[in-house]
Chain A
Amino acid sequence: MDIPGISRTLSVLTTLFGISIFVFLVLRVIPGDSITGAFGIETGALTPQQIAELRVYYGIDQPLVVQYFSWMQSFLSGKFGFAYSTGVSVATLTKSALPVTIELAIIGTIFGVILGIAIGMFSAKKPGSTRDFAGQLFGLLALAIPGFVLSTAIVTIMANKFHYFPNGYEYMTPWENPWMNFQQMMFPGLVLGIAVAAPVMRTTRSALLETVDKDFVRTAYGKGVPNNKVQFRHILRNSLIPIVTMTGIQFGYLLGGAVIVEKIFALPGMGRQILDAIMKREYATVQSSVMVFAIMFVLINVATDVIYRKIDPRIKK
């Protein structure tokens, strides 16, 4: 007997457990440790006694199993481990970094969905025409241009030509200074949005082309429903399932894409937190941050399912 939700929950927990083990092991396999991460080449000046003391301090003198469960216990207790280079818990760092990344991902998704659907509709209206070619060319370019190139180009042009780089100022949350926050998030959000727009545009175009030939569309036109109404209420609405799926997947990928964009735009988000922690071999910070990303990915999938049901009541059963 399959109890609804139980098997799904079990599969989610198994996935998260697998990710935790994978990240934990990968970090231990790659050369270097917290000592070389903190002391650099000066590690060579440390005596064996000092190195032994530091191994105890960083907790890397323990067997791997003990290290894993010690971190997992801390993660489950909500502290997420200790970030040695800053002297605070990883949860404290995450508390300030996570909202930045979530805000960036939401803005990127909004930009991406608006651009992607608009260009997808623009293309699908006359398949094979010049406008379709232009739309598809945008999709191809958006996919082909890496985010770091686009980010660097925007930053360089805006700073050199217009002396405008709001990200050079202290980061402001939307509550501290909404206008400044908007300025600091706008360009990184646009870069991520363009990356999201390409697959959304392609999905929108093919979904619309599939729907446009359906009987109910012909009926709507036959009944004299205005073109705009048919486009949005009949065709777009009935094409939303694949678009929502693609957007959900892209939102997950945005979290990864944010790593580079946050770096170039100097945003103190999760991506930067992970990158810095990898460089310093701060195991707890990397592991806990990756787990937070993984949990978010799972939650997005659940949210996508909920949206499906709203869009298409038939999926409820």
Chain B
Amino acid sequence: MSDVPWLLTMIVVPAVGGAAVAALPKGRDALAKQAALAVSLLVLVLAVLATVAFDTGGERFQLTTAVDWIPAFGVQFALGVDGIALVMLLLIGVLVPVVVVASWRDTGPGGRSMKAYFAWLLVLESMMVGVFAATDVFLFYVFFEAMLVPMYFIIGSFGGPRRQYAAVKFFLYSLLGGLVMLASVIGLYVVSNSQIGEGTFAFDALRQLDIDPGVQKLLFLGFFVAFAIKAPLVPFHTWLPDSGAEAPVGGAVLLVGVLDKVGTFGFIRYCLPLFPDASRTFAPWILGLAVAGILYGALLAMGQSDMKRLVTYTSIAHFGFIALGIFAFTAEGGSGAVLYMVNHGISTGILFLVVGMVITRGGSRSIADYGGIGKKAPVLAGVFLVAGLSSLALPGTNSFVSEFLVLLGSFPTRPVFTIVATVGIVLAALYVLLLIQRAVHGPARGKVTDTAFPDLRRREMVVVAPLLALVIGLGVYPQPLLDLINPAVAATMGDIGSDPAGTQPATAEQGAN
């Protein structure tokens, strides 16, 4: 089964599906939705099959496909996954169908046809799979940039009132970061050209280069800026609240849940193994940004009056935790960070979706317009609570495991940063519980009384059920994911030659506790 080109299929199927949906005649919105759902479910099945075909004890990169693409540049169309990329593919596989169902009843601004929205979603899925599956740096860059186009149209055509501004800001920030990274990509190529004798972009070959420390620092910074904008780390984050707030809910879930993970994925896949010396040099600074992000994101989240902006600020805090785990250079911290990437996708995804359901009912994004949702819509309120608790990493929910692993892994090497970061846990409890208290508890008021405020419909139950199951399931038993992640993280930490004294292998017991 391992010789089936799973990854290629996972890129081609949604791309073709997207083109087919776009080509449907006008007025066939219903068919477009059904087709999009079918295609995205098919991708989920493919992702699961790829996981089955993946051997956790096997080579680092598996399910590989490689053909020459642009020989003049030494570029290959090379795909392959390690455990880290594979869990991200699973996350994409789960989130896209959920988003399709969640967007089922959305209407475009100004009566736009939603057909294009579903077409762009599928194209985006194809690009997202590509960006995680690429093992050629050039190919990675191509997907990294091309991914902007569908998201740009999703925000700009189907978003909220300030969607034009948000879409352009999103695109320009990412484009700037991407172009700076392009300079580094070319720099890597030139270094490989002088060391190996022929220019290459193959990750495995580039990993073995011995790059001069001065050059390493420059190249590292190019990649770092791109990923720090994407992730985003403070102070590169200002585009995210605008984009997250203005994007349609489905787009926001994918933006924060998956697209931004490309940044943290980039840290662990490209920055650490390719530039180990530079990573070590800059680690204290980056950890400083990470911890600043944890506190700053949490404080700003508390001050938000707009629910969607609040959720995006919580994400900025969470990205701080992920960066902390990665740049602590321990196997546990790294595994925790990768697991956090998945868990954050799930818990922020469900939080965004629930917030979106509230906004659809009340027609306002302002927290002050709501109160006592629990009285009129108890099931919705319950889901809201669980989503919030998952976001604040309550034990028993998925996020707890990863947050705990990150802190546990970072403490031995970076005690100060870790201790400061734990303050973020308290702040997380504050911003989530304050939101829940204001919107869910107390007497019904504001939009909750003014409008018909029905409880969850059957379609919405279908949307939240799988994510709820994952929140609890991965909270209790994260081992299958850790089994996938751990070898890849260990290999990455081996690349960077992290100090074994500070490294303890992340074992099953620690993961599960």
Report if A and B associate in a common complex: no
Q: Which residue numbers of A lie inside 8 Å of B, CB to CB?
A: none
List chain B positions with a Cβ less than 8 A from chain A: none
